[in-house]
Amino acid sequence: MNQENKVNGNSKNKQLDPFRSDDRDKHLTTNQGLKVSEDEFSLKVGSRGPTLMEDFHFREKMTHFDHERIPERVVHARGYGAHGEFELYESMKPYTKAKFLQNPGTKVPVFTRISTVAGSKGSFDIPRDVRGFATKFYTEEGNFDLVGNNMPVFFIQDAIKFPDFIHAVKPEPDTGYPQAASAHDTFWDFIANNQESAHMVMWLMSDRAIPRSLRMMEGFGVHTFRFVNDEGKAHFVKFHWKPKLGIHSAVWDEAQKINGKNPDFNRQDIHESIENGDYPEWELGVQIVPEEDEFKFDFDVLDPTKIWPEEDVPVKIIGKMTLNRNVDNVFAETEQVAFHPGSVVPGIDFSNDPLLQGRLFSYTDTQLIRLGGPNFHELPINRPVCPFHNNQRDGYGRQTINIGKSSYHNNSIANNTPSPASVEEGGYEHYQEKVEGRKIQARSESFKDHFSQATMFWNSMSDVEKQHIQDAFSFELGMVNNKHIRQQVVDMIAHIHLGLAQKVADNVGVQQPLTGGSDVSKSSPALSQMNTIYQPDTLKIAVVLDEGFNDLEVETVIQGLKEHQTYPTVISSKLGRIKGENGMELEATATFDTGDPVLFDALYVVGGKNSSKDFTKKTSYMVQETFKHFKPIGATGKGINILRENGITEEPGVITGDQVGNFITTFIDAVAAQRHWNRNV
């Protein structure tokens, strides 16, 4: 039965059931039945002003969305959390009065939660998705939450559209699938018809969406905030987290296989790193723009779908975060932690970014339903390290036992305490920005350029990265059933780059656009992962050997690998001790079944004196998979023969040799490079 017949066949039943609703061909209304005249823009003071609380449609829409899922998060459900500390390198006193940013050497405890966005709590670790990157700073002035993502822009410009976007990317309502995936009709229908998403979707189709490790990805505050100093002078600021290990990703075929072999791959990786003492580190950077320079750029500094290119506004590195302690209880800490972009300290304030303005409402509203009431701030993971005093009382989950009769302000019973603090006493004062304008539902004209930075992103990519983006679009749109949606998306891509659109069109069976393209030639080298840090530290190397291996040689190689801070894992046909030709034994801690090559960063093939055909066959599979994913391969002794049988001894990143010292040096260099893209795969 085709879709149209299915709909028509059910129509009579729907008419008989007052609780069923067919929303097609109807006007949009509120839940009270009021027809809505605008669903693109929240109500603001002028086109660039703050969002107004009187926008009842926005509040109803966002409130309903925030309460759609219980008890797991509506988005960012699958997350990993860890404790650590932040240390300040450089004083920010000229820009902000925030105390934890005043004196170099200041340290404050932090808790960071990194998450996928679209999938449920039970989904897998490496879908093609955005990663949430939220950090709670427990400062002496209260908690500061830096709530961002691993991509510096977002899909939408106004928070009123957030429920629409998430509805589109979540599993389709009539089937309940796909889980944790954007490769389906509703997502791409949203993208094609909400083209402010063009820039973000380029990031999503890039390698940034499939990180090799949570320790090897950037974080961004996304929004424009304000720093305010002691004199009341304000600067616009964006926040960046720069990983000390560089930015590295999986390849798509590898990511899909990892999700099958170990759906907890990213979470296990960071957990084990912390347990091993290889503490993940990110440096905190800020981009700072004086308020008087707000309109000097070719992009709007308040637009959350735009970056501030690092070449235009350099990133100043001001401190470092180290995650050094895993949680004791995932539920009590990772799941109950409540972040809020409105959790700020004196010296940090907001801009009129309309997406940020809406988030200031949404996050508190979400915690009320997810954590059972208004006292979520009293949970241990959310409590500030400084004392807090106010007239809030009772409610679900109340832990504080308040003493005294007074719970209101003003009062005489308690000498009018707790009392507001003056600015000099550390009281928070909102930045006194002058705003004026009519109450309207609109967006600034400067927000209407949806393609320039998407093209800049494309221009900034290496040839390899461009190929990956093309392949990602082809895969995702290839999963879209509706040909009309595929055509719409391809036509949108043509505004970014005509050649890309034409190649994708050919791959997904739609008409090639004949016109389009962009005259934007600007690029930003900072956007390419090819310009990242390369080092072997903490990478995992599979060592494949069998009975009768050259134990003296292998022992030297393994020791050399460990000295370069890598983690060799011995893999064989069975677990337990494997004996070398001189009687030395090594412990195999994984087998061909449990030690799949996609779970490792490199492969060292040793073999054995009398290896069986089955051992050689399974080792050949490991060699082929590792080679196909562009990862380093090394071999000594009998292992060289296995590489020869697979015809890859002369390929880039494939290292063979009998002189152990030279082999270790050359192989480590290959491992540090991580991927060898110039192979004939």
Which residues are designated catalytic? 76, 149
Give all strands (DSSP E) within 520-619, no chain letters.
540-545, 567-572, 576-579, 585-588, 590-591, 602-607
H or E segment to which residue 330 belongs: none
Pairing of strands 654-656, 633-635: parallel
At residue 649, what are phi and psi to the nearest 5 degrees? -70, -20
Helices (H), 371-497: 452-460, 463-478, 483-493
Cβ atoms < 10 Å from Cβ of 405: 9
What is the residue-wise DSSP string for 134-145? Answer: EEEEEETTEEEE
Q: 263 and 124 in contact (C-beta within 8 Å)?
A: yes
What's CA 60's distance to the chain center, in Å?
A: 28
At 48, list the tokens.
């660039």
C-alpha span between 26 and 46 (Å, rounded): 30
Closest to 477 (Cα-Cα) out of 452, 453, 510, 440: 510
- 199-228: burial string, b at 16+ Cβ within 10 Å, e else: bbbbbbbbbbbbbbbbbbbbbbbbbbbbbb
Q: 125 and 259 in contact (C-beta within 8 Å)?
A: yes
C-alpha span between 497 and 501 (Å, rounded): 6
Q: Count Cα atoms within 13 angstroms, Cβ side, for 393.
A: 8
Q: Which residue has the tokens 């002078």?
A: 233
At residue 279, what are phi and psi to the nearest 5 degrees? -65, 125
289 pairs with which residues across the strands?
Answer: 236
What is the residue-wise DSSP string for 113-131? Answer: EEEESSS-TTS-S--S--E
Cis previous bond, 346, omega within 30? no
Secondary structure percentages of the chain, helix, strand, coil, to 5? 35, 20, 50
Within 8 A by CB and 6+ apart from 608, the residues are 545, 546, 547, 548, 549, 578, 615, 638
Radius of gyration of the chain (CA): 28
Closest to 137 (Cα-Cα) out of 348, 351, 304: 348
C-alpha span between 308 and 312 (Å, rounded): 7
